[in-house]
């Protein structure tokens, strides 16, 4: 059976070199008035002071190299959850992501495995990976240069995973996950975090997002459609009338965990919570977006509705507005009920993404 590929993630034309934002992406709008620039400088100074305070709190919380993390987490889990939801300081993101995902433990348990996968193993997906690399964050300075360090690192991580899990191999959407991780950590660290996510080191495994037929995507879309009907019945009815289903707009939300088309600063905040709390934040953010834009969406006919669902307004993408709204939506119990309902209808699938909190450390096989 030929694996279904997620090849709809096409890059936009790369613009001429321009100024970069603080994350390394080419700025799309370089024309700012002097008044806006002054406001930006003032806001930047306020954010710098605020970030400094947060960094000091986080350093105290995690200790040197993460040495105090597990102890602090056991003592004050509610403090940890609250601080993660407020956003992990950018300078500590790479380390904290490894700590909360369980990938640091996998790395320490498997010395030398990544090097063996990259150097000594061959992958049937190598040509597909090479073709897909240029589509991953094409406007980011790290990945722009053909055969440059970013593209080489991305190739190595994706090739290593395709060998590590030959059943999954490589699917194009995986590049956005690996690319995002590489902006915050080394190749080996990014590889093990990808393993932790897909194999289920802390939360339920997510490799079903990329298996043949994308079984986990199908489950998530079923759950999401039901949640829309239950939480936003008027919009759900409008979607039915206009023949809109979640596969038309939400598939890439799950396949790339919002890293494909969302503003990067928002995607990072979502990933902070996603790695700690699990996939339910993807559902919550999706519902929050629809709720925020509800009154506009219910008025739109099919074509305009499809466009709006892929091009949300800037104010809807403000993390300080969207995320508190997402956190207020309670769906955990209902998600589990819908998972069970889906499995009864479609037959129980392995690695189906149940909301288990039981750690599952994968066995390591390199051939």
Q: Give the residue, 25 or 289, on which the prediction is more confident.
A: 289
Among 10-24, 172-186, 224-238, where is mean pLDDT lowest? 10-24
Condensed to tens digits (0 to 9), the pLDDT of residues 234-246 reads 999 999 999 999 9
Which of 105, 119, 196 minimizes the C-alpha distance to 156? 119
pLDDT of 22 higher than 90: no
- Identify whether the C-beta of residue 179 lies closer than 8 Å to the C-beta of residue 136: yes
Answer for the pair 168, 198: CB distance below 8 angstroms, yes or no. Answer: yes
Residues belonging to the chain:
367
38-48 average pLDDT score: 71
Distance CA 203, CA 332 (A): 14
Q: What pLDDT, on the 0 to 100 scale, is given for residue 115?
A: 95
Mean pLDDT, the chain, rounded, equals: 87
Burial of 73 (0-12, 13-18, 19+ CB in 10 A): middle
Q: What is the pLDDT of residue 16?
A: 53
Q: Is a pLDDT exceeding 80 seen at residue 7? A: no
Q: What is the pLDDT of residues 259-274, one digit of tens each?
A: 998 999 999 999 999 9
The CATH class given to the 102-204 domain equals: mainly alpha
Grouping H, G, I as helix, E, B as strand and the rest as coil, residue 296 is helix
Over range 95-104, report the average pLDDT.
Answer: 95
CA nearest neighbour of 96 among 87, 304, 310: 87
Inform me whether the pLDDT recorded for 139 exceeds 60.
Answer: yes
Provide the token pair at 324.
């508190």
Q: Please, where in the chain does CATH 1.10.8.270 lie?
A: 102-204
pLDDT in tens, 72-81: 999 999 999 9
CATH 1.10.472.80 intervals, the chain:
215-349
Measured distance CA(175)–CA(8) in Å, rounded: 13
Two tokens, residue 319 = 């993390």
Mean pLDDT of 261-288: 96
CB atoms within 10 A of CB 1: 5
Alpha-carbon 65 to chain mean position: 24
Distance between CA 244 and CA 309 in Å, rounded?
10
Mean pLDDT of 94-101: 96
Residue scoring higher pLDDT (3 or 229): 229
Which uninterrupted H or E stretch holds 74?
helix 69-75
* pLDDT for the residue 130: 93
Q: What is residue 233's three-state secondary structure? A: helix
- The answer to which of 11-15, 16-20, 155-159, 174-178 has the lowest mean pLDDT is 11-15
Q: Report, as an integer, the average pLDDT of 33-55.
A: 69
* Six-digit token string for 82: 């609250």
Q: Alpha carbon of 75 to those of 95, 273, 291: distances in Å?
A: 20, 19, 36
Stated pTM of the model: 0.86
Read off the tokens for 306.
């499809």
In the structure, how many helices (H) and strands (E) does the chain have?
20, 0
Cβ contact 285:258 at 8 Å: yes
Cβ(326)–Cβ(285) under 8 Å?
Answer: yes
Answer CATH for 215-349 from 3.30.70.1350, 3.30.360.10, 1.10.760.10, 1.10.472.80: 1.10.472.80
Asked whether 23 and 264 are in contact (CB, 8 A), the reply is: yes
Average pLDDT over residues 206-224: 95
Closest by CA position to 281, among listed 230, 338, 232, 224: 224
């Amino acid at each position: 059976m030929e694996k279904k590929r997620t090849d709809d993630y096409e890059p936009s034309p790369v613009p001429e070199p321009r100024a970069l934002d603080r994350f390394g992406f080419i700025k799309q709008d370089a024309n700012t008035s002097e008044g806006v620039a002054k406001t930006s400088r003032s806001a930047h100074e306020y954010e710098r002071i605020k970030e400094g305070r947060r960094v000091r709190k986080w350093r105290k919380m995690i200790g040197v190299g993460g040495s105090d993390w597990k102890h602090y987490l056991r003592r004050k889990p509610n403090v940890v959850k609250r601080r993660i939801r407020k956003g992990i300081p950018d300078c500590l993101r790479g380390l904290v992501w490894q700590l909360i995902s369980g990938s640091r433990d996998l790395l320490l348990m498997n010395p030398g495995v990544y090097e063996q996968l990259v150097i000594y193993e061959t992958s049937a997906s190598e040509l597909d990976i090479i073709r897909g690399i240029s589509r991953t964050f094409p406007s980011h300075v790290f990945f722009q240069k053909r055969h440059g360090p970013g593209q080489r690192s991305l190739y190595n991580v994706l090739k290593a995973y395709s060998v590590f899990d030959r059943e999954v191999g490589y699917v194009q959407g995986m590049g956005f996950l690996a690319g995002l991780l590489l902006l915050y950590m080394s190749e080996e660290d990014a590889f093990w975090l990808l393993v932790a996510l897909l194999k289920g080191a802390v939360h339920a495994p997510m490799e079903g997002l990329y298996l043949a037929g994308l079984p986990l995507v199908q489950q998530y879309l079923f759950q999401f459609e039901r949640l829309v009907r239950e939480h936003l019945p008027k919009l759900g009815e409008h979607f039915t009338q206009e023949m809109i289903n979640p596969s038309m707009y939400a598939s890439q939300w799950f396949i790339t965990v919002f890293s494909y088309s969302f503003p990067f600063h928002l995607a990072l905040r979502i990933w902070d919570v996603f790695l700690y709390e699990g996939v339910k934040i993807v559902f919550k953010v999706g519902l929050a977006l629809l709720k925020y834009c509800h009154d506009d969406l219910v008025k739109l006919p099919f074509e305009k509705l499809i466009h709006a669902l892929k091009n949300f307004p800037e104010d809807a993408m403000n993390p300080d507005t969207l995320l508190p709204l997402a956190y207020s939506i309670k769906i955990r119990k209902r998600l589990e009920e819908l998972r069970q309902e889906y499995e009864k209808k479609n037959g129980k699938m392995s690695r189906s993404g149940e909301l288990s909190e039981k750690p599952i450390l994968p066995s390591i096989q390199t051939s």
